[in-house]
Amino acid sequence: MHRTVIVISVSARPDGSESIFCPGLFTPTAAQDGTLVRIRVPGGIVNSQQALVLAEFAAKLGAVDLQVTNRSNVQLLVKSLDQADFAALQAVGLAAPIASVDRFRNIMASPTAGIDPQMLVDTRPLVKSIDSYISSSPHLTGLSAKFSIGIDGGEALSIGQRPNDILLLARPAGLRLMLRMSDGSPGGDASLTAKSGSPTGQMLDTRLVWGLEQAVEVFATLSDLYLQHSGAIPLVPSEHRRSRQPRFRHLVKHWGLDWLRANCPGAELTRETVAMPQGGYQYLGVHSQLQSEYFYLGVVLPLGRLTLEQLRGLAEIAAIYGNSEIRLTPWQNIILPNLPAIQPVIGALERLGLSVNPKHSAGSIAACRGTLGCAAAVIDSQNHALAAIRQLTLTSPVQIHISGCDKGCAQPLPSDIALKGTSQGYEIYLHAPGAVFGRYLYPAMPADRALEVVQKMLQVHQALSPATSFRDFTDRHDLSTLLQFFHA
């Protein structure tokens, strides 16, 4: 088999044109305490053998743990890549044989693909076919590292609302192309709209439909369009677009939806309307599968983190009790599928220090690496989030996002409470539709004070409106009323 191993230098693009903010396996980025590498896992499914190889790879490089990312990938903070055995990862399919295209394997699918009782199409073969295409296509090297595709098979645990440049709705009638037209970030390009079409929130329904067997053709068509035309797009100056490469939506904004349709000859144009999949399915804990003899377990990982010992233990549990699969979720937790019995698995997980309790506080808190792993960070969001997991008392699920700067990478969708990192501490925000951070509530304050304020907000909600969710409670009041409540 053809294997090429290239480590592209830290913080430089292959063409040397700009810094890399999204680490890859062969394109690591410098972090405060080492080097950050990201291993792409298309569809988020790893098996026990891959997990053990991954643990070995990480241990050899001095990593103490790994982190599941919000794209179902795996991130490692390593001391050095000098001893990196890339060939071991390539041999088990955890890295592309052609190093220069590895970081474009950005393919997301539901973590319950193929096992979800509501699914309409099993998307796993589609993910595999696109991954094979990317992994063997050196001409894709000029893509943006953020060029990403999600495939939604109609599962209850939908990834349709997750931020993918391209979303394919896989339905029995075919693959329908939706495009993400905004990143939702403050100061970002939320105002982008296509010249025609059907905006659905931040998504544009192109009404283009391919056959289910044409997944690779869809990807090849769109990636070729990007490669041929992205160089002609004028850059939109924005402090939130650090990359100098446009996103796919900027091509459609520039030339219009009719241009896109004219350049997709393999697709049919449909008049039928379609509902956008909704998120919010609670998958932690015990769940029935489509295959009635099996269950799946949603397991909580604090901030997506897993020690190498826990990873090895999970590999063993999956092999003994399941079908060897461990599924990484874009919500930074994991799913163990295909379990005929539950109690022994829960016991084995507890011995590893892992919980399946849907009310665990770690299930509510998301944070990026902050200063521990990102050059743009202004605050140690990761350790502050670990403190929040220890200190906050949550009596009902409340989504809390703690961000290392104003970009909000860890939680691209609106959360109930957001702490935005600044050089003076954290500003505090409350949910607002369509905005990563939401309504500005409090100016910047030190991290420990911010956690006290959040705890008070949670207590006030429980005292005044325990029967409604935190989000419903805050959504129904204006900010001045809420401030009176919180200060009473």
Residue 302 or 322: which CB sits closer to ligand SF4? Answer: 302
Sign of CA dihedral 79, 82, 83, 87: positive
CA distance 139 to 425: 44
Q: Residue 406 Cβ, how far from ligand SF4 at the closest point, in Å?
A: 7
| Whole-number Cα distances in Å, 320 to 111, 171, 325, 340 | 20, 34, 11, 11
Name the token pair of 209.
């439909």
Binding pattern for the stretch 52-81 against ligand SF4, x by CB under 6 A and - elsewhere = ------------------------------
Question: Does 163 sit near ligand SF4 (CB under 6 A)?
Answer: no
- Stretch near ligand SF4 under the rule CB under 6 A, chosen from 22-30, 86-94, 403-411, 471-479: 403-411
Among residues 264 and 366, whose Cβ is nearest to ligand SF4? 366
The residue among 29 and 50 lying less far from ligand SF4, judged by its C-beta, is 29
User: Which part of the chain contacts ligand SF4 (CB under 6 A), choosing from 228-236, 343-351, 363-371, 458-466?
Assistant: 363-371
H or E element at residue 419: strand 417-422
| Count of residues touching ligand SF4 (by CB under 6 A) | 12
Residue 72 corresponds to which tokens in the numbers above? 């179902």
Shortest distance, position 368 Cβ to ligand SF4, whole Å: 3
When computed from its CA atoms, the radius of gyration of the chain, rounded to whole angstroms, is 22
Output the smallest distance, CB 357 to ligand SF4, in A: 27
- Rule CB under 6 A: say whether 401 interacts with ligand SF4: no
Establish if 405 lies at the interface with ligand SF4 (CB under 6 A): yes
250, 327, 407, 471: which one binds ligand SF4 (CB under 6 A): 407
Q: According to CB under 6 A, which one of 61, 99, 346, 374 is a site residue for ligand SF4? A: 374
| Mode of pairing for the β-strands spanning 29-31 and 107-109 | unpaired
Out of 34, 44, 114, 408, the only residue in the binding site for ligand SF4 (CB under 6 A) is 408
CB atoms under 10 Å from CB of 106, counted, come to: 24
| Residues between 409 and 438 that touch ligand SF4 (CB under 6 A) | 409
Could you say whether residue 197 binds ligand SF4 (CB under 6 A)? no
Q: How far is the CB of 291 from ligand SF4 (least distance, A)?
A: 38
- Whole-angstrom distance, CA of residue 49 vs CA of residue 391: 37
Pick one of 404, 412, 414, 438: the residue that binds ligand SF4 (CB under 6 A): 404
Nearer CB in complex with ligand SF4: 55/68:
68
| From candidates 190, 376, 432, 444, binder to ligand SF4 by CB under 6 A | 376
Angle at 331 between CA 110 and CA 451, to 5 degrees: 165
Residue 71 vs 407, nearer CB to ligand SF4: 407
Tell me which stretch binds ligand SF4 (CB under 6 A): 264-272, 331-339, 400-408, 480-488: 400-408
Q: Which of 399, 296, 281 is nearest to 356 (CA)?
A: 296
Report the helix count and the strand count for the chain, using DSSP H and E. Answer: 12, 22
Residue 103 interacts with ligand SF4 (CB under 6 A): yes or no: no
* Interface stretch with ligand SF4, choices 97-105, 319-327, 354-362, 374-382 (CB under 6 A): 374-382
* Residue of 377, 398, 445, 453 interacting with ligand SF4 (CB under 6 A): 377
Query: Which residue number, 241 or 253, has a Cβ lying nearer to ligand SF4?
Result: 241
Angle (deg, nearest 10), helices 447-464 and 479-487: 100
285 DSSP 8-state letter? E
Token couple for 63: 């990593």
- What DSSP character marks residue 315? H
Asked if residue 249 lies in contact with residue 192, where contact means CB atoms within 8 angstroms, the answer is yes
Closest approach of ligand SF4 to the CB of residue 107, in Å? 21
Closer by beta carbon to ligand SF4, 143 or else 405:
405
The secondary structure of 170-226 as a DSSP string is EETTEEEEEEE-----TTSSTT---SSSEEETTEEEEEEEE-GGGHHHHHHHHHHHH
Alpha-helix residue ranges (DSSP H) falling in 370-424 = 381-391
**Does residue 370 touch ligand SF4 according to CB under 6 A?**
yes
The CA–CA distances, whole Å, from 329 to 70, 389, 400 equal 7, 19, 18
DSSP label at residue 280: -
Which residues of this chain interact with ligand SF4, rule CB under 6 A? 368-370, 374, 376-377, 403-405, 407-409
